[in-house]
Chains A and B, each alone.
Chain A
Amino acid sequence: MSLRIPCPCCGDRSVHEFVHGEIRRVPDHLTDPDERDLDFAFHHDNEEGVVTERWFHAQGCRRWFEIRRDTRTDRIIEAAES
């Protein structure tokens, strides 16, 4: 079975209905504006573990929502409140 994403509006749906959205955070220790721009444009945390991310239900209710997912197992830790 494919990965199921819990949409707060439509319930558990196949990942293929969604568009993945990353929440970009430039680390605070970067202070040089050029470095911050570079980081924002290209760099990723690429974290192994639980991440908070956004998903867009493109083939459903067309809403953005946040979930927490473990990238090591693809398990959804915490679904968004509906």
Chain B
Amino acid sequence: MNEFTERQMKLTWRAPKESYDVVIVGAGGHGLATAYYLATRHGITNVGVFERGYIGGGNSGRNTTIIRANYGIPAAVRFYQRSVDLYRGLEEETDRWLMHQQKGILWMAHSEAAVRAERMRAKLNTEFGAETEFVGPRQVEELCPQLDMSGGGRWPVLGASYHPQGATARHDRVVWALAEGAMERGAHVHQNTPVEGLILDGKRVAGVRTAAGNVAAGVVVSAVGGHVSRLAAMAGLRLPIRTHRLQAFVTNHYRQQFGPIVASSELFFYASQTARGEMLLGAEIDPQPSFSYRSSHDFVQHVCRRALCLLPFMSDLRVLRQWTGVCDMSPDYSPIMGRTGVPGFFITTGWGTWGFKAIPAGGEQIAELIATGETPELIAPFGLDRFARDRTMADRGSAGTH
């Protein structure tokens, strides 16, 4: 046993109470972070988190754990930078090793148009707090000597935007650190307890029906990933969400150190090295809306073909493991956080392919909203009402991949 499992064994699991001040649906990163920040920042501990499976077993355990803030619009850059900052302090704050590793992220440009786009990304990000610079081919090569700078002859590396604060962390250590932090302070987490319905009092959401009985709630927060449209429909809401699959895979151990996270918008893939030395690759979502966790061989085929243009050393590696998560995609590729128009019902969704990096900031801001009753400035632009107000947050910086 290591310190990670030892800590888990000391936790006390309790039966659900008849009522909580706050009920959170979904014990993934965002649900647990909300519980954690409610407990640590606002002293609200009469909180129940309900999870149909196990902690972090949904998309929190199926992502590629990339943490970065170099997004495409000012509001998003500010928000994700908050998350990057919180992540950096999270190990010390929770007194747990989260395997947080700052490695920097290189975003390749293979054409003049992409060079302009990456220069713009660097400018915009630096302006709004996420340090990013445009680097030329020589510096790119220094940062990542494994790259084929000619891109297999077809995708030459003309430069890249470099975001030094790009990082990765171990997904299950992050969710468990938040779960333990919340539970130590009195919050309850109920695994294997699906929420089957919402209890309505007139228009107001007044509780949840769970597999373990009815639970009354002061407020209900949906931190559901993948099935949020179904939960929202119970409150009479229709959401601007479509759910798509996103796949990823790892190779066997690569013995050399692979420094940064490498991404390319034109080749539609990104790669990083896990702490075990595996190369971890991801790409874009599958085209059709789907809730299936099935992975496909053609995904591996397509990603390998493109990734080998830049990283030819990977042709010596074998694919070890492949998996799929389901992503709630919003039409403007930005998250949806805050009130819903239904009293007593808050939502944090639309986490598409960018949920993991937003865990601490998302949880912190939703917790503040619940505790103070006022929408924090940082997430005010990301409300569900933005679609009706014609204030969508179209984000080119997230529309790509991770």
Contact = CB atoms under 8 A, between A and B. Distances in A.
Contacts of B296: 1-3
A14 interface: yes
Given A15-B287, A38-B388, A71-B289, A43 B297 contact: no
Contacts of A3: 286, 288, 296
A12 interface: no
Contacts of B240: 42-44
Interface string B267-294: 0000000000000000000111111101
Contacts of A42: 240, 331, 387
A81 B343 CA distance: 47
Interface string A34-75: 100011011111111000010000000000000001011110
A39 B241 CA distance: 11
Nearest to B389: A38
Contacts of A15: 286-288
A11 B181 CA distance: 55
B288 A44 contact: no
B283 to A, nearest CB: 13
B242 A16 contact: no
A20 B229 contact: no
Given A1-B298, A42-B387, A48-B230, A71 B242 contact: no
Contacts of B229: 44-47
Contacts of B388: 34, 38
Interface in B233-263: 238-243
A46 B241 contact: yes
Q: Interface residue tally of chain B, by bracket?
A: 20 to 34
Contacts of A20: 287-289
A22 interface: yes
Contacts of A16: 287, 298
B387 A71 contact: no
Contact of B292 (A1, A19, A22, A71): A71
A72 B291 contact: yes
A74 to B, nearest CB: 5
Interface of A: 1-3, 14-16, 18-20, 22, 27, 34, 38-39, 41-48, 53, 69, 71-74
14 contacts: A1-B298, A2-B299, A15-B286, A18-B287, A20-B288, A38-B387, A42-B240, A43-B238, A44-B289, A46-B243, A48-B227, A48-B230, A48-B291, A71-B292
Given A20-B288, A46-B243, A71-B291, 11 more contacts: A2-B298, A3-B288, A14-B298, A20-B287, A43-B240, A46-B241, A47-B229, A48-B291, A71-B292, A73-B292, A74-B290
